[in-house]
Structure 1
Amino acid sequence: MKIREDILTPKERNKAFSEGKPIDRIVCTPMLASSAVYLIGKKIKEFQLNPEVMAESHITAYKRFRYDSVGLCTHCAIIAEAMGAKLTYLEDDVARCDEPILKSKDDLDKIKISTEKDGKLWVLYEAAQIVNKEIGDEVSPSISTPGAFTTAATLRGVENFARDLYKDPEFCHKLLRMTTESAKNHIRAVAASGAAIGGIAEPIASGNLIGPKIFEEFVSPYIKELVEFMKTFNTSAGLHICGNVNKLIEPMIATGVSTLSVDRIDLQVLKEKVAGRTKILGNIDPTQEMLYGPVEKIHEACKRAIDIMKDYEGGYILSTGCDISPKAPFEYVQAMMDAARSYGAYEYIRQ
C-alpha cells in the first residue's frame, strides 16, 4: 500500500469537493470526538467542561492525523442541558442524563428555550475560537447541533416520549417547537463564534426506534425548518442518524439536507437508493473495525467503501458511521487516514 502525501489542505480540499472540482484524495473525516483528549493525557470530563482542553485535544489530533474536519462536540444532550436538564459528568465517558426533567407533561415550565449563554454551550464556542486561531488557516472547526427530536426525547425520557408520540401528539409538537427554537439559537451562536455550522445529529430518530410515519410527522418538519434556517447563513446541512436507516432514506432526503451521514447500512444499497440526490458520508463501523481492528481489516473496509462509491455522482466522504470509541487505539485512526491517502488518492496537479 503506497501512501501519498497530501497536496491540498483540508480547507482547499473541502472547497474544491463542494464545487465539484478535482481534488488530490478522497475527503476523510474520522469522528474522533471526545476520545481526542487522550492524546494530551487528560480526561473526557475535562474535555467536556474546559474549552482549552477541548481545543488542545483537537489541535493535537489534527496535527497528528491531518484529517479533513475538526468537529467540536461533547454529547447530544448539550441543548437539553441548556434548556434545563441535569446531566452527570463522568471522568472517562460522555455526560449522561440519568433522569428526565419532564417527568410529567405538566412540567414544561421547568424548561426554557435556551440561548448561547445557557448550560455548557459556551465551551464549544470558546474552543472553536482557539482552534481557529491555531489551525484555522488549514482546517475549519465545525459545530453540529442536536436535532429537535433528540433533544425533546432527552428532556422527556425516550420511553415516555415514545408513548407521547401516539397518546399526545399535541404535547410533542409543543415540546418540539421549544427544542427547535433552542437549536436555532445554538446555530446562530455557532456562526458568531467563527466555526462552520455543522450538521444535524438525530441519534434518537433512528430507524431502530421509529418508523417512516413517525419520522415524517415528528422529525422531518423540524429538520426542514433547521435546514432552511442554516441557509440564511449561506451553509448547507448534513444529517446524521445512528443505526439502521434503510426505511428512512426517502424522508431523510426530503428534508432538504445536502449530506446523509450514515451508520449501519449497505453502501451499495444506499448508493442506488439515493441516486446522487445528496452527498453520502460514512460508514466504517466504529464498534467493529475501528474498535477491534486490526489495521489490515480497517484498510480493507476503507478500500471496499471507496471502491463501492468511486463512481457515485453525488459525492462521497469516507468517515466512520458514528463517533470512535474512547477505547479505540489511535493507530486505527491513522490506518483509516493511510487508506484514504492510498486507495483514495487521485491524479492531481496543483494549479
Structure 2
Amino acid sequence: MSESMTSLERTLLTLDGKLPDRVPVDLHNFQMTARLMGATSFADFYRDGDAMAEGQIKAWERFGHDVLIVENGTAALAEACGVHVIYQDDAAPVAKEPAIKSLDDVDSLEVPDPYKVPVLAENLKATRRVVEAIGDRAFIIGRGDQGPFSLASEIRGMSDFMVDLALGEQPEKIHRLLDFCREVAYRYMLAQIEQGAHCTSIGDSPSGPDVISPRFYREYAYPHVKRLVDDLKAQGVRVAYHICGNSTPIIEEMVSTGATIVEIDQKADLRLSKAAAQGKTTLLGPVDPSGVLANGTPDDVMAKAREAIEILAPGGGFILGPGCALPDTTPDENIDALIDAAKRYGRYDRR
C-alpha cells in the first residue's frame, strides 16, 4: 500500500489536530538501536553520539516509523548535575549515588551547559546527525531526558526525596530543588531544538500515581512542568510529556500542562484519557513494551494496536507506539506488526 505523505507531514498534521492519511507510529527504541548496531557494550554505545545516530537511522531505514525519539536513557541530566551514573554493558545507564545529601545543599548546584558536558554533548550530536540525515522525512524528538520531579529524585536520591515529601518539613527547599531541575531541563531541551529537532520531551514517571499521590503531584510536580511547558511554548517549542504507569488519576492535569504530546502506557484508562485529551493534545502510546511487544506474538501486537487505534484515533490526536521504551530484545517482526496495524486499521479514510 503506497503512502500518500511523508512521516513528517503525517505527524505535523496530527499535532495540528487534523486527520492525515493514517495514524503515525512512534518507536521508543533507543535500546533496540544498540542491538541493531551490534554493540558489544551498551556502556560505550550510549556515550557515542555518532553510534547512537547511526543506530536510529538504521532503525528508521529498517522499519519506516514516523516518529523517532533520540536519547540514551534516563540519567544524562542527572550525571550532568553531579549524580554518579553507572553505565551497564547490557542495559541503559542508571543513576546510582545522589549529588546532594540534604535539601540544604540545593544552592550549591549549578545549571550545566549542555554543550560542555560530554554525555549531553554526545546526545545533542546524535540528534543533530539524525536531523541532518532524515529530518525532512521523519519527525524527530530530541529527548530532554528527565522532567523536574524525576531529575530531583535522582539528584537527591529517590528514597530520601520521598522522605522529604512525606515529612513536609521543608517545602520551600523542595520547590527550590524543583526550580533548579526545571532550569536544567529547560536549557537542555532548548539545546535539543537548536540541533533541528521538531520536538523535545521529558519523562517524569516518579511523579505519577504509581509512586506518589495525586495530591503530591499537584502540589510539587505539576506547577514546575506547567511552567516548563509554558516557557518552552513561548519559544515556539513543542513538548512531549511522559509518565509511566496508571496516569488516569492525573490525566486531566497532564493535558492541562499544554504539552503538545502526552505519552501514556498500557495501565492508563484509554477511554478516559481520550476524553481528557480530545481537541487539546495528542496522545502517544499505549502498547505494552514488555508484555506484548517484547514477549508477545505479532498477532498479540496487532490485536493490542488495533484496540488502541479504535479507542484513541477517532477525531485525530493520536500517535501509535509503545507505552515506554522498548527492550532491546523486542523481535523485529513485532515492530513490523505494530507499523502494519497503523497502515491497516489507522487510515482515516476508512473510519
TM-score normalised by L of structure 2: 0.92
Q: How many residues align?
A: 344
Identify the residue that residue 344 of structure 2 maps to in structure 1.
342
Contact 1:88 1:97 in 2 (8 A): yes
Identify the residue that residue 120 of structure 2 maps to in structure 1.
121
Partner residue of 2:78 out of 77, 80, 86? 80
Q: Deviations over 1:85-120 (max 9, x none)?
A: 110101111111122122233433663211212251
Alpha-carbon distance in structure 1 between the residues aligned to 2:74 and 2:33: 17
Distance 1:155 1:45, change over 3 A: same
Q: Deviations over 1:37-85 (max 9, x none)?
A: 2112114223310011101100000011111111111122211111111
Q: Deviations over 1:233-284 (max 9, x none)?
A: 3133221100111211222222222322101212123223444432211100
Distance 1:122 1:337, change over 3 A: same
Partner residue of 1:310 out of 304, 310, 313? 313
Mean Cα deviation higher: 240-249 or 41-50: 41-50
Alpha-carbon distance in structure 2 between the residues aligned to 1:320 and 1:88: 26
Identify the residue that residue 106 of structure 2 maps to in structure 1.
108
Deviation at 1:186, TM superposition (A): 0.5
Opposite residue 210 of structure 1, the aligned amino acid is I
Distance 1:276 1:191, change over 3 A: closer
What CA RMSD, in Å, does the superposition of the two structures yield over aligned residues?
1.8
Contact 2:22 2:342 in 1 (8 A): yes
Distance 1:278 1:20, change over 3 A: closer
Identify the residue that residue 47 of structure 1 maps to in structure 2.
45
Identify the residue that residue 153 of structure 2 maps to in structure 1.
153
SS of residue matched to 2:224: helix
User: After the TM superposition, which residues 85-100 of structure 1 pair with which residues of structure 2 at under 5 Å, given as runs?
Assistant: 85-100=83-98
Identify the residue that residue 247 of structure 1 maps to in structure 2.
249
Opposite residue 104 of structure 1, the aligned amino acid is S
Identify the residue that residue 201 of structure 1 maps to in structure 2.
203
Alpha-carbon distance in structure 2 between the residues aligned to 1:283 and 1:133: 29
Distance 1:316 1:197, change over 3 A: closer
Q: Deviations over 1:117-152 (max 9, x none)?
A: 225111111112211222222124321221011000
Alpha-carbon distance in structure 1 between the residues aligned to 2:260 and 2:330: 30
Distance 1:246 1:320, change over 3 A: same
Contact 1:144 1:199 in 2 (8 A): yes
Mean Cα deviation higher: 229-238 or 100-109: 100-109
TM-score normalised by L of structure 1: 0.92
Alpha-carbon distance in structure 2 between the residues aligned to 1:172 and 1:245: 23
Alpha-carbon distance in structure 1 between the residues aligned to 2:279 and 2:140: 27
Alpha-carbon distance in structure 1 between the residues aligned to 2:2 and 2:30: 24
Identify the residue that residue 328 of structure 1 maps to in structure 2.
330
Alpha-carbon distance in structure 2 between the residues aligned to 1:275 and 1:340: 19
Alpha-carbon distance in structure 2 between the residues aligned to 1:27 and 1:212: 31
User: Does 1:294 find its partner at 2:297?
Assistant: yes
Identify the residue that residue 132 of structure 2 maps to in structure 1.
133
Mean Cα deviation higher: 119-128 or 48-57: 119-128
Contact 1:47 1:54 in 2 (8 A): yes
Contact 1:83 1:118 in 2 (8 A): no
SS of residue matched to 1:49: coil
Q: Deviations over 1:166-192 (max 9, x none)?
A: 232122111111111111111221122
Identify the residue that residue 15 of structure 1 maps to in structure 2.
12
Opposite residue 260 of structure 1, the aligned amino acid is V
Identify the residue that residue 177 of structure 1 maps to in structure 2.
179
Distance 1:314 1:217, change over 3 A: farther
Opposite residue 217 of structure 1, the aligned amino acid is E
Alpha-carbon distance in structure 2 between the residues aligned to 1:69 and 1:310: 16
SS of residue matched to 1:98: strand
Between the aligned residues of both structures, percent identity stands at 31
Deviation at 1:325, TM superposition (A): 0.9
Q: Which runs of 5+ in 2 are unaligned?
A: none
Q: Which runs of 5+ in 1 are unaligned?
A: none
Partner residue of 1:62 out of 60, 63, 80? 60
Opposite residue 150 of structure 2, the aligned amino acid is T
Opposite residue 269 of structure 1, the aligned amino acid is L
Distance 1:188 1:241, change over 3 A: same
Identify the residue that residue 26 of structure 1 maps to in structure 2.
23
